[in-house]
Structure 1
Amino acid sequence: MTPSPDPDPPFPTFADVLAADRRLDGVVRRTPLERSAWLSQRAKTDVLLKLELSQRTGSFKLRGAYNAVASLSPEARARGLVTASAGNHGQGVALAATLVGCRATVFVPADAPETKRRRIAGFGGDVRLVDGGYDDAHHEAEAFAARTGALYVHAFSDPAVVAGQGTVGLEILRERPDVRTLVVPVGGGGLIGGIGVVARAMGSGVRIIGAQTHETAAMHASLAAGRLTSPDYGETVCEGLSGDVDERSLALAMRVVDGIVLVSEDEVRRAIRRLYVEEGVVAEGSAAVAAAAVMQGALDGAEGPAAVVLTGGNVDARRLAGILCTDD
């Protein structure tokens, strides 16, 4: 007897990413991949910036959210969607739900940037504020799903979400198949996991380097321990990276990630300033962390060219002004 396929496969395949790419055609933007002169000088190899901050909703998150939502049956969509988010995934789910004609409820930490909360609502999401951090919002969203029957769209371990995020790597390696190193911000691990699936399929020996801050280091700590670890979380400008990982995202990271570099919050602020001055782009902290890693030597001795994923640009104006007006 032929065994039944796993109804909830643990990891997406390269074929899943290719299917996501087709599904996303005409929905997401094929974002620019541009050489950074100052980072190339620092790294002593060509460094390319993947500008996902120019994506619809201002971050890469629409890729995974739409792929997951568009993959659902009409009956599943009719139940309504629910998710937890630090802000960017919530925007992606809200817009995806609007595009396919269903409703979405998004639980976010009460201290999430006002810009992100406002945009979730603007894309049609029902925003629910939760005291605490991302993990608290996640627990509230799961309780809501259990209570109402709404379908939970996980921010980083749903295989369809991860496959959608993997299209970032697909675009990079299609445009520049000579890229040898990828530097990727890491929160829950969905983006780096999806990119890793692509890199392992398309690139022989492509290295995958993650970037986190000391205050958002759950994946770093878990990889180092070889098991799920919940570190202490400090005040951060990288709210999109804060929160625990889960078994599935950790297992995928163990397969595809070569290492994670930790940087300080001050180094992220410095990277935000340099990206603005040198590149003319506004990067939120959760994106600038990857540039900060390069500035602190993540590519020293690495084979190039390298691509750095700038994941989003949704930062409150007051926070951005405060960072830009501070001297290095």
Structure 2
Amino acid sequence: MSGARARTFHSQSTAAEFAEPAAGTAERVFPSLAEVLVAARRLQGVARRTPLERSAWLSERAGADVWLKLETQQRTGSFKLRGAYNAVAALSKEERVRGLVTASAGNHGQGVALAASLAGLAPAVVFVPAGAPEAKKRRIARHGADLREVQGTYDDAHHAAEAHAARTGACFINAFSDPAVVAGQGTVGLEIVQELPGVRTVLVPVGGGGISGGVGIVARAMGSGIRVIGVQTEATSAMHASLAAGRVVSPPYGPTLCEGLEGDVDDRGLALAAEVLDGVVLVTEAAVRRAMRRLFQEEGIVAEGSAAVGAAALLEGAVEGIEGPTAVVLTGGNVDGDRLAGILAERD
């Protein structure tokens, strides 16, 4: 996809619409920078402080200094442990004994499963789409969770998890809009600004908006003009479409390599994105495949599709006005071996 075809939503035009919750919408509760700092303390000794490394080939391609935040090296293979553990650690004693349930495309489920184990709680119940990558499903079960597969999409798994919570009283850990989850994901942004204080732009994958919202909260609190740009694919464009509409909408979805970005957003996630993101761009699935291939060829990095969208945006010229330093968050590396082998065998 050429830069001319990239479609961008700039959130400044509608952020004011979300200053207060509309009647009937979810309560507007965003974590503060102070809560992100509390999450960082909770995560010490649990989550890794992942490397931030300069990418020579992406810097050359973008015409600016580009750094990669390697959440591919995080425990469980993705950033999701940060938010999941922080949310579990923030629960009251009464909430903990009720048990945990969540929905996941794979990575959040691993995070919740491990967090429950580390906290000495009963195994978490994790609902996943039956078509989720086998590697992710195996690892969720390996961390001790009660894995339950649901026919259909991520949204079907999400609804099943909510129904389980209503039926049993278990605590539902929302994968993207729980304030404690967002605060935990925000520690990614905290590490970036600490290690790269001159950072001008951060590219972050967007699904429900947890990590992009957390990083955006940190960037806004710094008051230093850091742009936070979200990236989705044309087949996983719920946040892009909802921001453009000024309300939650459910666009048509297509086959995708980026299962971690699939599914609808909710009112709280949308409101946060409108407040803290400077834009959302869309890239093609073909661009994601190329980015996965180039990340492996040039850097030796195994990135799953959802993680590679930021690199795809740079390769395709989808983000205007790139200045360095730019940080690209590679959110995870949990990809089935057969899928990766097929992508690496392709030619540009």
> What TM-score do the two structures reach when normalised by structure 2?
0.91
Structure 2: distance between partners of 1:159 and 1:143: 21
Q: SS state of the match for residue 211, structure 1?
A: strand
Aligned twin of 1:5: none
Unmatched segments (≥5 aa) in structure 2: 1-26
Q: SS state of the match for residue 224, structure 1?
A: helix
From 28, 41, 52, give the equivalent of 1:33.
Answer: 52
Aligned twin of 2:102: 83
Structure 2: distance between partners of 1:160 and 1:109: 24
Q: SS state of the match for residue 216, structure 1?
A: coil
CA contact (8 A) 2:28 2:271 kept: no
Say if 2:333 is the partner of 1:313.
yes
Structure 2: distance between partners of 1:299 and 1:85: 29
Q: SS state of the match for residue 62, structure 1?
A: helix
Aligned twin of 2:83: 64
For each residue in 1:181-229, what CA deviation from the matched residue of structure 2 results, as whole angstroms up to 9, or x when unmatched? 0000000000000000000012411001111000000000011111111
Q: SS state of the match for residue 50, structure 2?
A: coil
Q: SS state of the match for residue 38, structure 1?
A: helix
Structure 1: distance between partners of 2:321 and 2:180: 35
From 285, 299, 306, give the equivalent of 1:286.
Answer: 306
Say if 2:228 is the partner of 1:228.
no
Structure 1: distance between partners of 2:314 and 2:307: 12
For residue 73 of structure 2, what is the amino acid of its counterpart?
S
From 16, 19, 24, give the equivalent of 2:35.
Answer: 16
Structure 2: distance between partners of 1:310 and 1:115: 18
Aligned twin of 1:111: 131
CA contact (8 A) 2:204 2:230 kept: yes
Structure 2: distance between partners of 1:165 and 1:245: 17
Structure 1 runs (4+) deviating above 3 angstroms are: none
Structure 1: distance between partners of 2:133 and 2:222: 37
For each residue in 1:277-302, what CA deviation from the matched residue of structure 2 results, as whole angstroms up to 9, or x when unmatched? 00101000000111001111134422
Say if 2:177 is the partner of 1:175.
no
From 153, 160, 174, give the equivalent of 2:180.
Answer: 160
CA contact (8 A) 2:58 2:66 kept: yes
For each residue in 1:226-265, what CA deviation from the matched residue of structure 2 results, as whole angstroms up to 9, or x when unmatched? 1111001100000000000000000000001111111110
Aligned twin of 2:142: 122
For residue 28 of structure 1, what is the amino acid of its counterpart?
A
CA contact (8 A) 1:43 1:299 kept: no
Aligned twin of 2:260: 240
5 Å matches for 1:176-215?
176-215=196-235
CA contact (8 A) 1:65 1:92 kept: yes
Structure 1: distance between partners of 2:132 and 2:149: 9
CA contact (8 A) 1:11 1:252 kept: yes
Q: SS state of the match for residue 23, structure 1?
A: helix
Aligned twin of 1:3: none
For residue 69 of structure 1, what is the amino acid of its counterpart?
V
Number of residue-to-residue matches in the alignment: 321
CA contact (8 A) 1:178 1:305 kept: yes
Structure 2: distance between partners of 1:114 and 1:198: 34
CA contact (8 A) 1:115 1:314 kept: yes
> What TM-score do the two structures reach when normalised by structure 1?
0.97
Q: SS state of the match for residue 235, structure 2?
A: helix
Aligned twin of 2:9: none
What fraction of aligned residue pairs are identical, expressed as a percent?
A: 72
Kindly tell me: are residues 136 and 41 of structure 1, through their superposed partners in 2, closer, same or farther at Cα, counting changes over 3 Å? same
From 29, 49, 62, give the equivalent of 1:43.
Answer: 62
For residue 144 of structure 2, what is the amino acid of its counterpart?
G
Higher RCO, 1 or 2 (CA under 8 Å, sep at least 6)? Answer: 2
CA contact (8 A) 1:65 1:161 kept: yes
For each residue in 1:58-94, what CA deviation from the matched residue of structure 2 results, as whole angstroms up to 9, or x when unmatched? 0000000000001112221111100000000000000
Say if 2:295 is the partner of 1:296.
no
